[in-house]
Structure formats: C-alpha cells, structure tokens
Structure 1
Amino acid sequence: NRKESSGTERNVENKVSLSYRITDFGVRGANIRKSEYERDNSKTDYEKTKNIVSQEVVTTYYNISKYREMIDGVNLEKEFYKKMLETFSLLVSSGVAMQSDMRKVQVSIDALNTRSIMYQSMLDDEMYKMQNMTGLNLSPVQIQSDEKFNLFKKYIFVESPEKLMDMVMKYNDDYKMLVNTRKAATEDINAAKSSYFPTVDLVSSYVQNNPSGSAKKSDYEDEFKTGINVSFNIFNGFRNSAQERKMVASYSQAKLQIDDFLIKTRYNIDSQLSRYAAAKETYSVAERSHTNALQLTELYEQEFQLGQKSLLDLISSRNEAFQAYVSMIDSKYSLYILKLQQLSLIFH
C-alpha cells in the first residue's frame, strides 16, 4: 500500500498487512471436513462407474461363453444326423429304408441349422458389445470358455442375509456415498451453529515511511503493529437460523435416503437368496435330466439297430436329450448371473 501525504511535507508509505484467523469456533473445520466427504464421494462414484463397466464386461463374457456352448451342442447333434443321413442314403438306395426316413432326418438337420443361425446371431451381438466396451477385436475362439475358466464356480454364493447385509454396508459404493452425504450434512449443521459465534483474527501490519521535502524523519517512524480482531454479527436478518434449518432439513433427507436404501437392499437380498435357491435346484434337476436323456438315447440307438424302436422314436429321444442340454446350459448360466448380481449388490 503506497500513500503520499499532501502539503509541503511529503511521505511515501509502504504498508504490508497480514491476517490469520485464530478461531471461528468450528466453521472452517466443518467446511474442510465437508469438502473431504464430497471428495471421497467423487472417488467412490468413479470406482462405481468402473465396477458397472466390469459387470457389463463379465455379463457379456458369460453370454459369449453360453452361446458358444449352445452352438457346440447344435454342432454335435448335426454330426449325429449327418451320419444318419449318409447311412439312410445307402439304405434307401438298397431298398431297405424308405425315402420318408431320410426326410425325417433332414427335417431334424434343418431345425438344428435354424437354431445354429439364431445362436450365432446372438453370439455376434455379444462379440460386438465386447469390442465396444474393451476396444479389443477378438474372435469367439480367442475368448476362453467357461468350461476351462470356471470364473464363478470358484465364487461361493453368500447365503446368510445378515452376513450379506454387513458386506453391503462395508463395501457398497452407493451406501458409502449416502453415508458421506449424511456426514457432509452434519458438518453443514455444525458450521451453521458455529456461525452464531464470533471470529477471532490475529492482525499484523508493518508500515515503512519514506519522508521527503520538509518532512522530518522523526515524525515518520516505521511502524509495526500486532493485534486481535474480534468480529461478531449482532443481527443479520435471521440468516444464520434460516441456514441452520436448511441444513437440518438436508440432514434429515440424507438420513431418509439411507433408510430407504437399507430397506430396498434387504428386499433385494431376500429376493436374490430365493431366486438362487430355485436356480440351484433347477440346475441340479436339469443336469440330472440331461444325464438320463443321454442314457435313454444310447438305449434307443441300440434298440433301433435291433429293430425294436422306430426312427421316429430315436429322433424324439435325441430331441429330448438336446432340449435337456439347452435347459442345463441355461440354468447353469442363470446361476452364474445370480452370483454376478450378488457381487453387484455388494459392491455397487
């Protein structure tokens, strides 16, 4: 700060002032803590975004693996029917079998081709999705099959609702952000209450005088001052009390959001546990049904060769075995998706 006096006496004044807030009875500390909670929320929200993308990638991976297994099953059936078609072509040529038998086999092959096209289309869609999410231009054979990877066979589904709720409250991103929002609202209330109190500042200043003209040096000594400045609002139009009420309302809203989240989470936990128990039983039944259907088909093949079963009987048994295979694969991946959904519930 430079100041020049008037008249015949001249003086150039250089002034430096420093002020340090000793206390504001908690306002500054509350605002700092609130900012830290908001910063933590930003970090958590970023982690949540990454977790959501990871979930989408894993879901896509499992869809790819599922459709690959479906296509493998179709191809296996097609190989069986192609061999039968070759056999019946020879039998028809020799007059042992009828042309209608060949038609039955061809109809089965056509039905399998239709399924293969459908599964391949679904597989292609998932591959495009994987490419968009990861930026990797892969072919289905480059993605390891779940039969070898066993990603979710190793994950033990948590079947205790109490343990699962504890894990949600410890790891869930949404819950962390809601708690931090409530804590930030608490700091807003603390800051609003502290604003009723005065602020205390340590104020120091140094003045360097440079007299000239007829001014005497002794009249313009350099000065150093230190003091305490106390500021207190006697009346500010009830702004402090209005701000406090506003912050209390924000806190109540944040608390209600936490309560609502916990209620919904308990419902989701109960629903997931119920669906997992049903899916596990369904998979067990489907696996057993597939094993039985394969054994029945083998028996029908033997009886067909002995002339005890018709071609229609054999084809029907193969269709039942294939449907059992499809049901088994569907139920297996339903279990995996439920495990993935549980991880999603725990972490975001």
Structure 2
Amino acid sequence: MLGSSKKRLVRLMVIPFCFAGASTLNALTLQEGVDEVLATHPVVQERLHNYQSTLEDLRITESQYLPSLDYAGDFEKAKTESPSTNFESRSLYSYEHSLQLTQNLFNGFGTIYEADYQKARILAAANNYIENANDVAYSFINLYIATLKARDTLVIAKESVAFHEEIFRKVKKLFDSGSTTRSEFEKIDTSLSLAKSNYIVAQNNLEDAQFNLERVLGRYVKAEELEKISFSGTLPASEDEMKEFARLYNPSVLVSHYNIKAAEAQRSAAYKNYYPKIDAYARKSWADDIGGLPGKDERSAVGIKISYNLYRGGADEAQIAKSMTQISREQDNKRDVVRKLDEQGRLSWSAKTYITQQLDFLQKYAKTSAKTLELYQQEYDLGRRTLLDLLVAQNDYVSARTQVIKAQNDLLFANYRILDAMGTMVQNILGSKALDYTKRVRLDVVDGKLDHDSNLGTLLFEKRDTNE
C-alpha cells in the first residue's frame, strides 16, 4: 500500500507538466497575441483612421497658402423697352463670364497658427493611437495571464479530486470491512464532494477567462494553446525613475501635451481678427448684352483688397477668453493624467516589491507542504495518522500551490503594469516589430521614447516639461 501511495503522488505531480507540454501544440505566445490584437482590434483601427483624418485637416488648412481661382457665369433672357429699341419690346439674351485669381497676402498670421493647431492635433491623434494600442494590449495581457492562472488552478483542482477519490476508495474499503467508523467515511465523502465542487468552479472560471480573452482577441483560443510567459522586459532601476519617464513619455501624457499646444495655437490664431486682411487679385470678365444694352464688354483688372473689421460686438474678445479657458482645461487634464499614472506606477511598484518578497515564503511553504503531505500519506497508510490529519495536509498543499500560482501571475502582471505606466509595454513585448505600429502614425522610437517624424515639419513649440 505504501508503494501504491508513492506512485500515486508521483502521478499527481506529473499532471501539470503533461498539461504544459500539451500547450506547445498550436501554441499562441504572448508576443503573437499582442501582435494579432493590435492588427485587428476595432478600437485600434478606429484611432488609426482618426489620425488619418487629422492629416487631411492639415492639408485643408495649408491650402490657404495657395491662390484661389474662381469662375462665375451668368446667363439670362430679358425683355427691354428703351430708346435704343424705339421703346419697342425686344428680347435680349445676355451672358457674363469671369475668372478671378485671389492670393491672400496677410490675414493676421491666422494661417500660420491654424497650421500649428492642426500639427498639434496630428501629434495628439498619433499618440492617442499609441495610447489606445497600449490599452488594448494591456487588456489582452491581463486576460492572457488570467487564463493561464485559471488553467493552472484547474490542474490543481483536478489533482485534488483525484487525491480525494483515492482516499475515498481506501476508506470505503476499510468501512465495508468494518475497520473504520461511519463518521470517517462520511468525512471523506463530504471532502470529495467539496473537491468536485471546487473543480467545477475552476472549470467555470477557466471558461470565463477564455471567453473574456476571445472578446479582446476576436477569436476563441483554448487555454492549452497559450504558452507560459517568461518576462524579459526592461524595468527601471527605481520607482522615481519610472515616474519621471512616465511623466515625459507615456502616450497619454503626450496626448495631453499636444492638446495643450493645440489650444495655445488656437489662442494665437484668434488674434488674427485684430489685423486687416489683405488679398491680391487678378480678374478677367467677358460679357454680352448686359443691362439690356446690346454689345460686348471685356474687362481685365488687378488690385489689392483690404478688409478690416472695426467692431464685432465683442466676439473677438470672447473668442480669446474662450481659448484661454481651453488651455487651462487641457492643463488640468494633463495634471489628472499624470496623477493617475503616478498612482498606477506606485501601486504596481509596491505590488512588485511585496509580491517578490511574499513569493519566496510561498514557494518554501509549497515545498514544505508537499513534503508534509507525502509523509502524512505514508504515516496514514501505516496507521500513524488520522484521516483528518491527511485531509488537513492535503488542503494545506492545495492552498500553498494555489497561492504560489496567484503570486507568480500577480508579479508578472505587476511588471507589465509598470511598463504600461511608462508607455513601453508594447515595445518590450514586440521589440523591433513595435515600429510597425508607430510608423503607421509617423512616430519613431528613440531610446525607448516616442518622438514625431521630422517629415511633419517644425512646430513653433518643441520643448516639453512636466509642469504645464
């Protein structure tokens, strides 16, 4: 009987490794999953289209630098009675054509600042695309890890059922032979029912995790297809270093930064109404039978047109005040973003620190409880331990392994949360392949930091700080 117990224990310990081996068939790695979800998720694609739309807004604004060519045509039939017709009613067919070329020479620097406004919007939209890509990847990683945790927990629950079934068979055999009490038989029967109930709960939790993963990935993936994660990201040396980096280079911060710059450009553009507008024009017109007078008329003209509003009912002052309020609003939004990133980073760093310490003790606890269970099994078979002792040792072993799995996955997630707070999570997972996504919005990654493509042109503002 002792030999049988040892073989049974070994067989139970092998189950997780068999499970892990099965996962290599049609496996999905974390890197492959992140790459797939970024390429297919509707939110990411919608933000990409939003970015492309802002590019067209810049083209619309910059068209103001170019001349405008306008054609006008007028065709009409008229009746006239005039001295030229001896006051007889006569029908006349007249037409007039004109072409006018207009070039704006000055509009109070409005076009310059409106172009800066659009450039800032482009950079905000580009970083918003990266921000949403990071959020989607973060959700996927969270659910990927949750599925791994549920999968491993199910393995433990399955082992627990197998253990209780083995003990149940032993106790039943003893009970049937009159060698043990009914209370002991009822105890193992109750424990077996609880183990089976826990197994069903674990199955349900795994199904939920797989369905949640499908919602983000867009297709159903079985838990056994997921490969274990080996974290290889680059973490900062300290919490302060993490916070400083996040405050400058997290995409959410950059979105707020460029929203501020866009509001500042709008404020500058609002002052254009205090200046005159100056246009140069060249016009050519052709006409026939105009005003009821027969004959052709052809004219050419070039000139300068100046228009200057002297009073608009206070609308210009109100527009400037509105733009100042918008700047303050965007600055408040940025401060809120920084606070949230500080909170996320601080919580993640704290979790990483304490879970690392906790994991050392939990692994020792799991190792000791496994050894204790093995010894209790041997002693139970020799009649030196009661059934209750054995079940307590088993529950202790299950609890230890479950806590180790939870702590390992929580530590893994805490590390990715730190990278997410910094805005470097996708870069760390995809490596050089992350450039495939940043280049879509003309962003580059230099030393792990997002920077805009020089092809966008130079804005009037470049310097960034954390005190805006």
TM class, shorter-length: 0.7 to 0.9
Q: CA deviation at 1:232?
A: 1.8
Q: Kindly report which structure 2 residues correspond to 1:268-307, keeping only aligned pairs within 5 A, or say none.
A: 268-307=344-383
Residue equivalent to 2:229: 150
Q: What RMSD over aligned residues (CA atoms) do the two structures have, in Å?
A: 3.2
Cα separation, 2, equivalents of 1:268 and 1:344: 9
TM-score of the two chains, using structure 1 as the length reference: 0.84
CA deviation map 1:300-326 (0-9, x unaligned): 233334443333322221221111111
Query: Per-residue displacement from partner, 1:242-261 (whole Å, max 9, x unpaired)?
Result: 22222122212222322333
Q: Which residue of 1 aligns with 2:258?
A: 180
**2:276 is aligned with what amino acid?**
P
The aligned residue for residue 318 of structure 1 is 394
Cα distance, 1:3–1:105 mapped onto 2, change above 3 Å: closer
Q: How does 1:152-167 map to 2 (within 5 A)?
A: 153-158=231-236, 160-167=238-245
Shift of 1:119: 1.2
- Partners of 2:420 and 2:100 in 1: CA distance: 56
Structure 1 gaps of 5+ residues are none
User: 2 CA distance for matches of 1:230 and 1:39?
Assistant: 33
Q: Deviations over 1:203-239 (max 9, x none)?
A: 111123558999788xx5x433222222222333333
Whether the aligned pair in 1 keeps the contact of 2:351 and 2:411 (CA below 8 Å) is no
* Post-superposition offset of 1:94: 5.2
Q: How far did residue 274 of structure 1 move? A: 1.8
Per-residue deviation, residues 26-85 of structure 1 (Å, max 9, x unmatched): 101212221333344344444444433333232222222111111111222222333333
CA distance in 1, matches of 2:118, 2:103: 21
Give the distance between the partners of 2:178 and 2:419, measured in 1 at CA: 62
Match of 1:341 in 2: 417
What 5-or-longer segments of structure 2 have no aligned partner? 1-72, 86-91, 426-468
* Alignment check: 8 A CA contact 1:159 1:273 kept: no
Q: CA deviation at 1:290?
A: 0.5
Q: Provide the residue aligned with 1:130 in structure 2.
A: 213
Within 5 Å, give how 1:53-202 maps onto structure 2. Answer: 53-92=136-175, 97-98=180-181, 100-141=183-224, 143-144=225-226, 148-151=227-230, 153-158=231-236, 160-202=238-280
Instruction: Tell whether 2:312 aligns with 1:236.
Output: yes
| Aligned residue pairs, count | 340
Please state whether the residue corresponding to 1:308 is helix, strand or coil. coil
Partner of 2:312: helix, strand, or coil?
coil
Q: Percent identity between the aligned chains?
A: 18
Contact map agreement 1:2 1:15 (CA 8 A) in 2: no
Say which is worse superposed, 16-25 or 54-63, in terms of deviation.
54-63
The one-letter code matched in structure 1 to 2:142 is T
SS in structure 1 of the partner of residue 313 of structure 2: coil
Judge conservation of contact 1:19–1:203 (CA < 8 Å) in 2: yes
Check 1:260–1:50 CA distance in 2 against 1; reply closer, same or farther (3 A cut): closer
- The 1:38–1:241 alpha-carbon spacing in structure 2 relative to 1, beyond 3 Å, is same
Secondary structure, aligned partner of 1:309 = coil
- SS of corresponding position for 1:178: helix
Larger relative contact order, structure 1 or 2 (CA cutoff 8 Å, min sep 6):
1
* Higher mean C-alpha deviation, range 316-325 or range 120-129: 120-129
